[in-house]
Each structure stands twice: as structure tokens, then as C-alpha cells.
Amino acid sequence: MRRFTHFLALCALTLVAACGQDSSPKLEGAQGGPALWQVSRGPMKGWLFGTIHVLPKGVAWETPTISEAMAQADRLVLEAADLEDEQKTLTLFETMGRSPGLPPLDQRVPEADRAALIKAVEDGGTSTQMLSGYESWAAAMLLSAASQQALKVSQDDGVEPVLIATFTKAGKPIGGLETVERQFAAFDTLPQAAQANLLVQTVRETKDMKALFERILTAWRKGDMEAIAKEDENGE
């Protein structure tokens, strides 16, 4: 799993649900704010907007270009339409993420990473005993979320709540590319080796989570896709 997928998600501000395969995305507002791509085919057009789920308070991201796209779009298509339903998301996570008879969490990482695991767990205000009840993919997500507490970021301050509120107020429909259940299922069906790798990578990332997030946030705010791609490559 790429290292910055904890922060980045794909949203689409669209006039149509999808454009033809021969459409050519055009990057708008490069270096003048977050990247926004316009996709068109004939009279139809839409926008692709890569967002960050969690942000610190007061981050200015709504540029005139983005505001204009929001005003012109007649619908909003999110990564997952039901992501804002916290109770549903929590219920699905608990149902899909837990399994009986799992080995202790510290036994699922190499011995060389166990000290980092313990520190990440303690810094995040949780415990290996609590996380041991979750499958490795779910434990990795919880550990990542716990490590973000020190960043003083919140999903409530992210981009999606603003988009949803804007389109709801305008009476425009909101849909999703997939569901939260389908997203969780993609992790839940990973082979155990892949889940273990995800957990180990998450443990290692917690050591420089603050620096990583600051680099990604800076690149995202500038629309610097080259820098974001570099972080992607570094996390492979």
C-alpha cells in the first residue's frame, strides 16, 4: 500500500457520471492551489479533484478555479458516497475487521519493528491488547489513525465536508464511485502476507508521520504532483 494513501482520496466534481475513454484530462490551476483536472468530451465536462481526508484547521484550499468548478458542476461524485455515515462505517469496520483467534499484534511484525510498534501504540493512546482483536489490515488503519492524533488534524476540517455541504445546499445530487463496504472488502480479502506487510509499513511510517504529512500537505496545496508522485515512489 502506498504510504500516503492514509491522507489522499479521490473526489470528482462532475457534470456527468463519466466521460468517454478518449477524453484527455487537462490540469488546471497548477502551482496555484490544489490540482484540479478538467475532463471533457463533446458538450460534456467534469473535474477530478484529489483531496486530503484530514486537515488542520484553517487550511485554505478553495481557489477561484475550484469554486468555479463547484458552481458549474451539477453533481458531486465522491470516492465513497456513504463515507460520512460514521455509524455505518464503524459498524462495517467492526464487523469486517475483527476475527477470533488472532495472534497477538506484536507477533505479527518482525522483532526489529516491535519496539517501534510499542511506541506507536503508546503514543497513540491505545494498546497492543486492544489492537490484537483486529485483523492486520484493520489494526494498521487504527494504528495510523491513532498516530495522526499528534498532527492535530481532523476529518471534520477536511475537504469532503465542505464539498458535501456546498452541493447539499445547492440541491445537487451526491453519489459515490463505490461504497465503504467495498473499500473495506478490498483490504479484508488481501492475503495474510499482504496484510502483514501493510501493518509493518504502517508501524515504520509512524516514526516520521509528522514530517511525511507536512511534505504531502505542502505539495497538495501547491498542486505539486511531481512531489506527490515522489512520495508515492518512496513508499513502494
pLDDT attached to residue 11: 57
User: What letter would DSSP give residue 111?
Assistant: G
Q: Is residue 19 part of a domain?
A: no
- The pLDDT score that the predictor gives to residue 187 is 95
Question: Does residue 13 sit within a domain?
Answer: no
Q: Is residue 176 one of the residues assigned to a domain?
A: yes
Domains: count for the chain: 1
Residue 165 lies in a domain: yes
Tally of CA atoms within 13 A in the half-sphere of 190 that contains its CB:
20
Looking at the domain assignment, is residue 60 inside a domain? yes
Instruction: Specify if 232 maps to a domain.
Output: no
**Which structural domain, as residue segments, surrounds residue 104?**
36-219
DSSP-based three-state secondary structure for 73: coil
Which pLDDT value is given to residue 10?
53
Flag whether 193 is in a domain: yes
Q: Is residue 228 part of a domain?
A: no
Give pLDDT, residue 230. 86
Across the chain, which has 236 residues, the per-10-residue mean pLDDT values are 44 45 52 84 86 89 92 89 82 96 95 94 90 96 86 88 92 90 94 95 87 90 89 68
Rg (CA), the chain: 19
> Vertex 68, ends 64 and 73: CA angle to 5°?
150
Predicted pLDDT at 9? 53
